[in-house]
């Protein structure tokens, strides 16, 4: 049986793991001059340290998750965190760019494996009726990393040097190994007899629609977010601060709404993004309109990843969550890359004023996907809710298994 108490300690450990991953991933982007000087390479080559992590994470998520899906979850989680500790430590002490680049590639592989586990782990630690809240707590680690971790890391790098900051990240990852060992439950892997082929998970009822909504939302978001500096010249720092603070509100609201109003919350968030982009397109360069629209956008986008991951795990079933989330990790990164490319093309041809409209187009497509896919991907009633009939529950891909079990 599941414990009655909400497992805060274990979920906060997973949130800290998410924080460590995102900070490790994105911190070098704010330290390019220091990395360039410390590793004796041009800033352009130092920037590849960010790309190396992201590409390796996207490419590794599916094959690594598929290879490890039969193993007990907690030892795999602890091994990945130990890998982060080792590779951040190597980054901290490496005197050579090739060694640092290799460490970043391997850290990206760890990141792909970690992201494929976090939401699924959270989902299996709680009853179905608390799944959205648990996932929101874990993904709150992303919000803390973006709004506080990365700025704080950049500030510490200015005081202590970038190597000390990566040493601190290594220490946090190392401390997570015993923390997860004591607070995160031991969950079983998938036995061979119950292991569903990857293509069957990808094509299961509702899964393609959730993945489609994910890539559309991320493509549109990144097209605008990547080029905020040319859109708001002289105000980019303030705009990013407002966006980051608003995402905190968004993830908090998602944690409240996901378990009872998942479909409504997603539709509302995507409608808010559309409204924000319309405002930015019409009057976004006026300071008051700019900040109000960015705050609306940040609040809406802050909760969207948690809502989408909850919908994905509902559709795939908790026992297949790692594989489904690996697919979403790859799709997520593909959306980031496609959005950056699309935004760059629009910026070159139409100028900054064209950026909100391309985001609006992709956002509207994501909104339409959620609105249409109401049977399996984004139903009004979620698993575990009274509105879901017994007949509906029998037709779900997997029953709501207790932690560490696979239903037969």
Cβ-count burial of 249 within 10 angstroms (0-12 exposed, 13-18 middle, 19+ buried)? middle
Inter-helix orientation angle 207-225/321-350, to 10°: 40
Query: What is residue 147's DSSP assignment?
Result: I
| Contacts (Cβ under 8 Å, ≥6 apart) of 37 | none
Using DSSP's 3-state secondary structure scheme, residue 174 falls into helix
Quick one: 372 exposed, middle or buried, by C-beta within 10 A (0-12, 13-18, 19+)?
A: exposed
For the chain, what's the residue count? 408
What b/e string do you get for 197-222 counting C-beta neighbours within 10 Å, with b at 16 or more?
Answer: ebeebbebebbbbbbbbbbbbbbbbb
Query: What's the average model confidence in pLDDT over 363-372?
Result: 94
Torsion region of 183: left, alpha or beta (phi above 0 gives left; psi -120 to 50 gives alpha): alpha
Cβ neighbour number for residue 49 with a 10 Å cutoff: 24
* φ, ψ of residue 122 in degrees (nearest 5): -60, -40
- Of 147, 177, 175, which Cα lies nearest the Cα of 22? 147
Which pLDDT tens digit goes with each residue over 113-129? 998 888 888 888 988 88
Domains of the chain: 8-191 (1.20.1250.20), 196-383+390-398 (1.20.1250.20)
Other CB atoms within 10 Å distance of the CB of residue 121 = 30
- pLDDT tens for 319-346 read 787 788 888 888 887 887 788 788 888 9
Task: Taking residues 253-260, report their average pLDDT.
Answer: 83
Q: Tens of pLDDT along 72-117?
A: 999 999 999 999 999 999 999 999 999 999 999 999 999 989 988 8
The distance from CA 44 to its chain's CA centroid, rounded to whole angstroms, is 26
| Residue that wins the pLDDT comparison between 26 and 184 | 184
The model's confidence at residue 384, banded by pLDDT at 50, 70 and 90, is low
Give the mean pLDDT of 265-283. Answer: 94
What's the CA gap between 124 and 134, in Å, rounded? 9
Are the C-beta atoms of residues 263 and 388 closer than 8 Å to each other? no
Q: Tell me: pLDDT of 133 over 90.
A: no
Indicate the pLDDT class of residue 399, thresholds 50, 70 and 90: very low
Q: What is the distance between the alpha carbons of residues 106 and 112, in angstroms, rounded to a whole number?
A: 10
Task: Return the axis-axis angle of helices 97-124 and 321-350, rounded to nearest 10°.
Answer: 120
Q: Are 210 and 307 in contact (CB under 8 A)?
A: no
pLDDT at position 74 is 94
Q: Are 39 and 100 in contact (CB under 8 A)?
A: yes
DSSP 388: S
pLDDT over threshold 50, residue 406: no
What's the average model confidence in pLDDT over 141-165? 86
């Amino acid at each position: 049986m599941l414990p009655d108490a909400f497992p805060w300690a274990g979920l906060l450990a997973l949130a800290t793991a998410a924080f460590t991953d995102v900070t490790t991933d994105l911190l070098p982007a704010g330290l390019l001059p220091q990395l360039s000087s410390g590793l004796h390479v041009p800033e352009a080559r130092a920037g590849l340290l960010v790309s190396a992590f992201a590409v390796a994470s996207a490419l590794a998520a599916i094959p690594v998750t598929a290879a490890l899906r039969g193993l007990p979850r907690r030892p795999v989680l602890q091994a990945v965190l130990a890998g982060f500790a080792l590779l951040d430590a190597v980054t901290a002490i490496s005197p050579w760019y090739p060694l640092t680049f290799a460490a970043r590639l391997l850290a990206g592989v760890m990141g792909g494996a970690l992201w494929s586990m976090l939401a699924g782990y959270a989902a299996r630690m709680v009853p179905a009726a608390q799944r959205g809240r648990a996932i929101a707590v874990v993904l709150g680690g992303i919000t803390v990393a973006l709004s506080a971790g990365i700025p704080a890391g950049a500030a510490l790098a200015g005081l202590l040097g970038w190597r000390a900051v990566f040493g601190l990240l290594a220490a946090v990852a190392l401390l997570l190994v015993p923390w997860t060992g004591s607070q995160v439950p031991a969950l079983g892997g998938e036995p061979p007899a119950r292991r569903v082929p990857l293509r069957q998970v990808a094509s299961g009822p509702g899964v393609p629609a959730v993945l489609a909504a994910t890539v559309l939302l991320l493509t549109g978001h990144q097209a605008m977010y990547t080029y905020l500096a040319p859109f708001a010249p002289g105000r980019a720092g303030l705009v990013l601060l407002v966006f980051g603070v608003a995402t905190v509100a968004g993830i908090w609201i998602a944690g409240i709404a996901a378990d009872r109003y998942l479909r409504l919350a997603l539709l509302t968030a995507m409608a808010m993004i559309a409204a924000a982009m319309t405002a930015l397109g019409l009057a976004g360069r006026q300071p008051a309109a700019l900040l109000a629209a960015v705050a609306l956008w940040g609040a809406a986008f802050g909760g969207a990843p948690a809502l989408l991951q909850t919908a994905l795990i509902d559709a795939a079933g908790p026992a297949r969550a790692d594989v489904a989330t690996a697919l979403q990790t790859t799709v997520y990164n593909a959306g980031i890359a496609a959005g950056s490319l699309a935004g760059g093309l629009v910026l070159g041809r139409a100028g900054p004023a064209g950026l909100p409209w391309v985001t609006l187009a992709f956002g509207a497509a994501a909104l339409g996907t959620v609105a249409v896919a109401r049977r399996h991907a984004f139903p009004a009633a979620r698993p575990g809710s009274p509105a879901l009939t017994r007949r509906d529950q029998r037709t779900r891909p997997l029953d709501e298994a207790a932690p560490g079990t696979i239903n037969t």
